[in-house]
Amino acid sequence: MAQTAQAPVAPPPRADERLGRKSPVARMLARPEAGAIAGAIVIYIFFFIIAPPFRNASSFSSVLYVTSTYGLMATPVALLMIGGEFDLSAGVAVTSSALTASLFMYEFTTVAWVGVLVALAVSLFIGFLNGWIVIKTGIPSFLVTLGTFFMLQGLNIALTQTITNQVSSPDISTLQGFSSSRVVFSGSFTVGGVNIRTSVLYWIVFVIIATWILLRTHIGNWIFAVGGHAPSARAVGVPVGRMKIGLFMAVGFMAWFTGMHTLFLFNTIQAGQGIGNEFVYIIAAVVGGCLLTGGYGSAVGAGIGALIFGMVNQGIVYAGWNPDWFQFFVGLLLLGAILLNTYIRRRAEAAI
């Protein structure tokens, strides 16, 4: 009763005669992630048929694990793309963060957690710097982050070699605080005989948080707006610069999180790794329905894009193929996804 009192003038919901009925299927197809869902189903069925080991629960657990290593980063990268920017340094930034943490804690023999926090500060700073340069100079983020990509890659290898005389970081497993860090960042648990890594849970949680922010908060509204048409957003009072810098820093944060996961899983980090992953993240976001021009996309879509990568990555192994086919599939997927997305979006727009 209180509700009726609150909204006495609310008109009864009525159907507009100019609005054709939309079937639930049509509504589904209008979502940005529609293409990715269709693609994921096709690829799942494909490997289900040709690779018998793919059908096991434990195989699917490892598919999910690989998915999470891509998906964690694909989530903020998708937000950044919706906000109208790219980050080509996202792949090596993961390695930079892990190297920073391990070299710091090893060289200064600190508790592992100190190195972890130093790496967090460094990663957030790299994200801030990317965003700040883009905002202050107006140079496309594609170019700015291409620059920071090479700089970080050079720093990763050069500094690691200077400090350790090797191309990888030293083993940190003997340091104090290592085991507690490992539990937090790289743990695993068993459900019904299947081993599952916590990174899978983290990934799902981050996708849910990102989706909630995008669709249910004013920050999400602003992310779509700065990517869709920044001058308009500015004109209605949205702090465009701060939003974009914040998004770059979100990528920095996740580079740190992913870096810590890798570090505490393997105890050591190859200085040259991570190169090329930035494209995987971006492709996962595009496969998931993010527009390259910004202003459109979804975090769930990027998650499904990452799942497609996970399935292909593992499916090739289970099918007994040469893993080199993975790259070919990556390219094929990107093309296929873009074609499918374009087709579905055209249909969805025609339905409006």
Choose one: 102-110, 217-225, 248-256, 328-336; the region binding another protein (CB under 8 A). Answer: 217-225
228 binds another protein (CB under 8 A): yes
332 lies in the binding site for another protein (CB under 8 A): no
Binding flag, residue 324, another protein (CB under 8 A): no
Q: Which CB, 63 or 238, lies closer to another protein?
A: 238
Residue 106 or 224: the one with the smaller Cβ distance to another protein is 224
- State the number of binding residues for another protein (CB under 8 A): 27
- Scanning 15-23, 100-108, 181-189, 276-284 for contacts with another protein by CB under 8 A, the matching segment is 15-23
CB of 96 to another protein, least distance (A): 32
For residue 205, state whether it binds another protein (rule: CB under 8 A).
no
28 binds another protein (CB under 8 A): no
CB of 352 to another protein, least distance (A): 5
3-state secondary structure the chain: CHHHHHCCCCCCCCCCCCCCCCCHHHHHHCCCCHHHHHHHHHHHHHHHHHCHHHHCHHHHHHHHHHHHHHHHHHHHHHHHHHCCCCCCCHHHHHHHHHHHHHHHHHHCCCCHHHHHHHHHHHHHHHHHHHHHHHHHHCCCHHHHHHHHHHHHHHHHHHHHHHHHCCCECCCCCCCCCHHHHHHHHHCEEEECCEEEEHHHHHHHHHHHHHHHHHHHCHHHHHHHHHHHCHHHHHHCCCCHHHHHHHHHHHHHHHHHHHHHHHHHHHCCCECCCCCCHHHHHHHHHHHCCCCCCCCCCCHHHHHHHHHHHHHHHHHHHHCCCCCCHHHHHHHHHHHHHHHHHHHHHHHHHHHC
Toward another protein, which CB reaches closer, 27 or 55?
Answer: 27
Which residue's CB is nearer to another protein, number 16 or number 324? 16
Based on the shown chain and the rule CB under 8 A, indicate whether residue 60 belongs to the binding site for another protein: no
Which positions from 273 to 302 touch another protein by CB under 8 A, shown as an x/- string?
Answer: ------------------x---xx------
Residues that bind another protein (CB under 8 A): 7, 10, 16, 18-19, 216-218, 221-222, 224-225, 228-229, 231-238, 291, 295-296, 349, 352
